[in-house]
Amino acid sequence: MTDSLSAQEFKANYDEAAVPSYTLPDPLVAADGKPIDSAEGWREVRRPELLELFRSKMYGRAPGRPADVRYELEESSQQAFGGAATRKQVTIHLTKQANGPRLRLLLYVPNKRTGPAPAFLGLNFSGNQVVCRDPAIQLTDRWVREGEATDGNRATDASRGSQTENWMVERVIERGYALATVYYGDIEPDYEEGWRRGVRSVFPVDGKAKATPAAQPITKFRDDDWGAIAAWAWGLSRVLDYLETDGDIDARRVAVIGHSRLGKTALWAAANDERFALCVSNNSGEGGAAISRRRFGETVWRINTSFPHWFCTAYKQYNNREDDLPFDQHELVALIAPRPVYIASASEDQWADPKGEFLSAVNAELVYALLGKTGLGVTAPPPVDKPVGETIGYHLRTGEHAVLPFDWEQYLNFADRHLRAN
């Protein structure tokens, strides 16, 4: 295979017998070859090394927290879902400029509670109005991917509640959790030149990763500057900044969740921002939880060809060269340790390599064990629809590439064990 091969001509491998032999890098061997045998060694030596590798070679470097953020509560009602929840719609302004980049946060908080609520935070694909059938939700005015509920690339009222099953907002509220979501297109539209209309056009990345608006327009990126996934992950941290100021939310108990490309985003957000107490990766596949060296389903070349804006430029040097990667995705999962992480696959989603996602969970367990946590607890893939794991959770759900009510029940159960334990 060469880089001149088109994405349409690509033939994915779905045969386990055709998976090449490979050796995974050991997350507990430092760059100088010395073994890491203590929590201090992980924290002070190996974890920073791995973060640097992923930042410089795959996701790219993001800036820090903006200096001029302000929050605007645009609407609030305690009568959402018949009085079961309080709905808030908050605009997060990232600069002083009135026309500068901003994120529109939709937040539901259960009214029946004894204190600040734990929360799930995730980005949505099509605008906040899709997550449930609440007519008060503001319709996004940003670019959206063209589909049945759009007029060109603009969302229409027909999109309201179109992804209710994927979000299960009322069930989340019933279980005692808040639900926070932002449209990922608020951060950066998802196409190759989308950065020109997103945060990457405004905030430069320098050696100190400052988040100061650029004095001059940004026209190009360095090899290790942030890609779109890093930008979306950065946006999740900006939402968490706000949640820390909201007295209705226990910001120490926020789970970051994502599906597909946004599952990749959730993993990278949790790896970078240790304030996230728990991470859920749903069908994240290549560039997320799946082992890249397996070359099963989507590959590094294929993802870089189809979505050249997702990762930093330096990642393209590993097209068709997975064995040369100085890391693999089990080490991304390990970067979340000792915090709980849940990885989910779907039986019909071979493109995302369910076995490769499971193997990342298995091979991250070394780090969890070093830090005194029971990770997955099994080495063989579980039966379909049978969740396994302790601090690392996993299931293979019957069905296609999606996040469904069965998935949400497992995530809520997992959160009950870990976010409500104390």
Residues above pLDDT 70, as percent of the chain: 96
Residue 247 domain boundaries: 7-254+261-276+292-332+350-356
In a domain, 387, yes or no: no
CB of 382 closer than 8 Å to CB of 394: yes
**What value does the mean pLDDT take over residues 317-345?**
98
Tell me the average pLDDT of the chain: 95
In a domain, 53, yes or no: yes
Kindly tell me if the per-residue pLDDT of 362 is higher than 80.
yes
| Residues contacting 345, CB < 8 A, separation 6+ | 283, 352, 354, 357, 358, 394, 395, 396, 397
In a domain, 389, yes or no: no
Model confidence at 151, pLDDT cuts 50, 70, 90, reads confident
In a domain, 36, yes or no: yes
Q: Measured between alpha carbons, how far is 192 from 228 in angstroms, rounded to an integer?
A: 9
* Choice among 8-12, 411-415, 416-420 with the minimum mean pLDDT: 8-12
Partners of residue 155 on adjacent β-strands: 150
Which tens digit of pLDDT belongs to each residue from 43-100? 999 999 999 999 999 999 999 999 999 999 999 999 999 999 999 999 999 999 888 9
Model confidence at 211, pLDDT cuts 50, 70, 90, reads confident
In a domain, 148, yes or no: yes
Give the global pTM: 0.96
In a domain, 49, yes or no: yes
Q: Which residues are catalytic?
A: 260, 401
- The pLDDT assigned to 218 comes to 86
- The neighbour count for residue 420, using CB atoms within 10 Å, is 12
What is 329-343 written as a DSSP string?
A: HHHHHHTTTTS-EEE
- Residue 176: phi, psi to the nearest 5? 95, 15
Q: Measured between alpha carbons, how far is 292 from 299 in angstroms, rounded to an integer?
A: 7
User: Residue 139: which CATH number?
Assistant: 3.40.50
Kindly tell me if the per-residue pLDDT of 303 is higher than 60.
yes
The bridge status of strand 150-151 relative to strand 154-155 is antiparallel
- The pLDDT assigned to 99 comes to 87
In a domain, 341, yes or no: no
Model confidence at 208, pLDDT cuts 50, 70, 90, reads low
- The pLDDT assigned to 154 comes to 87
Model confidence at 4, pLDDT cuts 50, 70, 90, reads very low
Q: Looking at the 3D structure of the chain, how many domains does it have?
A: 1
What is 227-252 written as a DSSP string?
A: -HHHHHHHHHHHHHHHHTT-TTEEEE
